[in-house]
Every structure is written in structure tokens, then in C-alpha cells.
Structure 1
């Protein structure tokens, strides 16, 4: 009789323990979802600011190019025009990211959210790669036709080395900015903590949520 009672007590205890584990996993999953939402919200504020600043910067460049089109140096017009074009593309990508963040439903299946976070990661790298292409044009916008005729050999050697150096850096960064480089020091320095870190944290927490759901 005592053995039967002990078995019943043990089964009751085991059932309560399982229920508690399920409850704890659900709580942990819900808390992690809130953290993911917080990370996404922090990214959203940064990207809104970036879009607004980008629009103002592009408008400034366009107004400058239009007003100086008839009298400006070809070097300035081409350089400023290309910089403006690159930044227009960047603003478009950031706007796409805002739509992507707004469409994330944290209560939807984790795989759907993971897919959208992956798109955020991919587009963040692409927008940075594209922005790097403007680097050499920052070394040519101030040149004028007068300088071409009056500049001495030393000036053009220095100018050529600087422009070539920036162009080489731009191509190297465009080629090497990818997920495989995320742990390298130059990558972390380039992306900083305000835009890249929240994405990585959200991605890691989604993996945790998936594990909780699989266990539950």
C-alpha cells in the first residue's frame, strides 16, 4: 500500500515538475520575444534618423549640382552627382529596412522572423558596400580645369596616389564586406555598435526562442 502511495506521490510530483518546466520555457520565450522587439525598435529609431539625414544630404547635393551645372567644374559635377546617386540608393535601402522592421510580427512563426532578420543583415551589408563606392569621388570633387593646366607634376602624383588609394580601398571594402568577416576588427570598427549589434542580438535571441519552442 505504501509503495502505491509513493508511486502516486512521485507521479504527481513529476507531473507538476513537467508543468513548471513548460511554464518556465514559455516565460523565457515570451521575455526573449520582448527583448527582440526592443532591439528592433532601437534599430528603427536609428534608421529613421539616417533616412531623414540622408534625404537632406541628397537634396543639398542635388540643389548644388543644379545651381552650378552651367558654371561648375566637370570634376565637381561628376563627383557630386555620383555621391548623390550612391546616397539616393542608400536612402532607398534604409527605407526598405524600415518597412521590413515594421512588418516583423514577433508572435509569428520564428522562421518567418528569422528570414526577415536575415534580410536586414544582408541589406545592411549591401548598403555599406554601396556607400563605399563614393570614396574616390571625395578626392576629385574640388579639382578644376584650371588646375589641370597649372598643376605641377608633384601635385598630380600626390593627387593620383590619393585617388588610387581611395579607389582601391573602396573596391576592397565592396568585395570583403560580408558575413564571413563579421568577427574581424575592421568590420566591427566600420559597422559600430548602433546598427549592427542589435541585429546580431536579435538573431541570437531568435535562435533561443526556436530552442524553447522545440523543447516545449
Structure 2
């Protein structure tokens, strides 16, 4: 009889222990998801600020293009047009990211949240690649046809070298800004702060949530 009671007590204790461990895992998972929500929400202010500044900048440059269209040089019009176009694309991407941030719900399935984070990560890389493409036009908007045809040869050569010096890193970064390069020093130098760190931290935390769920 005593053996049966001991076995019963042992099974009861074992069951309660399993329930306690499962409860602790659920609590840990919920806390982790709340942290994810906090990290993602911290991205909203910088994205909203960037969108506002971008819209104001586009409006300003568009005004210049319209007002000086008939007198401005072709270099200015093309350079300003490229710059505005890339900025507009960046604004659209930032708006898309705000929608993703707003839609991210701590109560939704982990896989759905991970998918939104993956989209945030990919769009953040893309917006950086596009914005770096603006570098060369900052060295050409002030040029005129006369400057190149009748200007000082040395100054023209310097201009070519400067434009090339901006074009090479712009193209190189456009081609090499990829998640696979995230551990490289130049990548970490570019991608840090409120635009990138919350995404990576959130992805790591959601990975932990999946582990909690799997272990459970």
C-alpha cells in the first residue's frame, strides 16, 4: 500500500512539475513577445521623421526644377530628377515599413510575425542601397556644358575623378549591401541604431519564442 501511495505521489508531483515548467515557458514566451513589440515600436519615430523630412525635401527640389526648368542646365535637371526619384522611392518604402510595424501583433502566430520582420529587414536593406545611389548626383548637379567644354582642363579632370570617387562606392554598396554581409565591419558601421538593431533583436527574440514553443 505504501508503495502504491509513493508511486501516486511521485506521479502527481511529476505532473505538477511538468505543468509548472510549461507555464514558465509560456510566461517566458509572452514576455519575449512583449519585448519584440517594444523594439519594433521604437522604430516608429525615426521612420515618421524621415518620411516628413523626405517629403519636404522632395517638395523643395521639385519646386526648384519647375521654377528653373527653362534656365537650368541639363546636368542640374538630370541630377535633381534622379535624386528626387530615389528619395520618392525611399519614402514609399518607409511608408510600407510603417504599415508593417503597425500590423505587427504580439498575439499573432510566431511565423507571421517573423515574416513581417523579414520584410522589414529586406526593405531596410533596399532603402539603404537606393539612397547610396544618390551619391554621384551630388557631384554633378552644379555642372554646365560650358564648364566641361571650355573650363580649365585640370578642374575638369578633378571633377571626373571626384564623380568617379562617388560613383564607385555607390555602385559597390548597392551590389554588396546584403544580409549575408551583416558580420562585416563596413556593414555594421552603416547598419546600427534605431533603423536596424530593433529588427535584429526582434528576430532573435522570436527565434527564442519558437524554441519555447518547440520545447513545450
TM-score (norm: length of structure 2): 0.96
The alignment yields a C-alpha RMSD, in angstroms, of: 1.2
- Is the counterpart of residue 33 in structure 1 residue 39 in structure 2? no
Aligned to 1:15: 15
Which moved further from structure 2: 59-68 or 172-181? Answer: 59-68
- Is the counterpart of residue 93 in structure 1 residue 93 in structure 2? yes
The superposition leaves residues 67-105 of structure 1 with CA deviations (integer Å, 9 ceiling, x where unpaired) of: 111111221121111101100000001101111111222
Distance in 2 (alpha carbons) for counterparts of 1:90 and 1:155: 34
User: Offset of 1:46 from its aligned partner?
Assistant: 1.7
Aligned to 1:177: 177
How many residues are paired up? 216
TM alignment of 1:15-94, pairs within 5 A: 15-94=15-94
Aligned to 2:120: 120
Aligned to 2:199: 199
The superposition leaves residues 115-157 of structure 1 with CA deviations (integer Å, 9 ceiling, x where unpaired) of: 1111111111111111111110001112123422442111111
The superposition leaves residues 167-188 of structure 1 with CA deviations (integer Å, 9 ceiling, x where unpaired) of: 1111100100001011111111
Q: Which runs of 5+ in 2 are unaligned?
A: none
Distance in 1 (alpha carbons) for counterparts of 2:197 and 2:121: 10
The superposition leaves residues 48-67 of structure 1 with CA deviations (integer Å, 9 ceiling, x where unpaired) of: 11111111111111111111
Q: Which runs of 5+ in 1 are unaligned?
A: none
Aligned to 1:187: 187
